[in-house]
Amino acid sequence: MNTNNLPALITPSILSADFSKLGEEIRQVTGAGADWIHIDVMDNHYVPNLTIGPMVCKAIKKIAKIPLDIHLMVENVDLLIPEFSRSGADIITIHPETSKHLDRTLSLIKDCNCKAGLALNPASNLQVLDYIMDKIDLILVMSVNPGFGGQKFLPMSIKKIKDVRTKIDEWSLKDGHNFIMLQVDGGVNIDNIAKIRSAGANAFVSGSAIFESGNYKETINAMKMEIQKSDDLKLNYE
């Protein structure tokens, strides 16, 4: 599939936002051109960090005018899916290791009227995708080991993004199959977003590169310009 025809979504991660003025941060990044708000939920069990819960998601929903993209990095994930759905989640992404019955957990997300995503860590095997493609709307490739913001992009992630893109394209060629987004999270910035796009991604999670930039609109616009340059280059090459 030609990735030029796919949407390119910038999804700022509030993990890097200033929580002392979170409401204003949400308003500013939304006004700056963000497409989704990415909310990293960590429980200090599945990953070594503790972040936020459904109450914060509910508060953000009152302010944000764009979809809330919830990334659950927690154990006992089935208990939290309905809570985040009721709190305003539009997309809920989980890790396969956090579910005792992956098919059932993905169905639970759908039953809660949310889009379902599956996250793959740097060492995750892609074979898990072979059995649940019909259940998911999004695949999230982690380009860092999950747990903390501000990490550097792992170069080996480019190959994984390409491999996942191939799997999605093979799936999409079959009539009646669902459209699946390919999202990348971890160290995404202005300098590497074009390369990530050319590998096949169409949703880009970025935390510190946006929230520590000093000018959210300028940074998001620069990211979108780099994506457009990548698309133009690929189109000219083809």
Which pLDDT value is given to residue 237?
56
Residue 147 annotated in ligand binding: yes
Which one from 43, 137, 185, 231 is the annotated catalytic residue? 185
Which pLDDT value is given to residue 3?
55
Which pLDDT value is given to residue 143?
96
pTM: 0.94
**What are the helix (H) ranges across the chain?**
22-31, 54-63, 77-86, 102-111, 157-172, 193-199, 208-211, 216-237
Judge whether 40 counts as a catalytic residue: yes
Which one from 40, 43, 137, 231 is the annotated catalytic residue? 40
Neighbours of 142 (CB within 10 A): 24
Residue 149 annotated in ligand binding: yes
Q: How far apart are CA 39 and CA 83, in angstroms?
A: 14
The list of the chain residues with pLDDT below 50 reads none
Our count of domains for the chain comes to 1
- Residue 89, token pair as written in the block: 């989640």
Cross-strand pairs, 117? 93, 138
Which pLDDT value is given to residue 11?
98
Residue 95 annotated in ligand binding: no
Q: Across the beta sheet with 68-73, what order do the strands follow?
A: 9-12, 203-206, 181-185, 138-142, 115-120, 91-94, 68-73, 37-42
Cross-strand pairs, 206? 12
Which domain, by its residues, includes 140?
A: 3-237
Residue 38 annotated in ligand binding: yes
Give yes or no for a contact between 87 and 61, defined as CB atoms under 8 angstroms apart: yes
Q: How far apart are CA 75 and CA 97, in angstroms?
A: 9
Residue 214 annotated in ligand binding: no
Question: What's the CATH code of the domain at 178?
Answer: 3.20.20.70
Which pLDDT value is given to residue 191?
97
Which pLDDT value is given to residue 147?
77
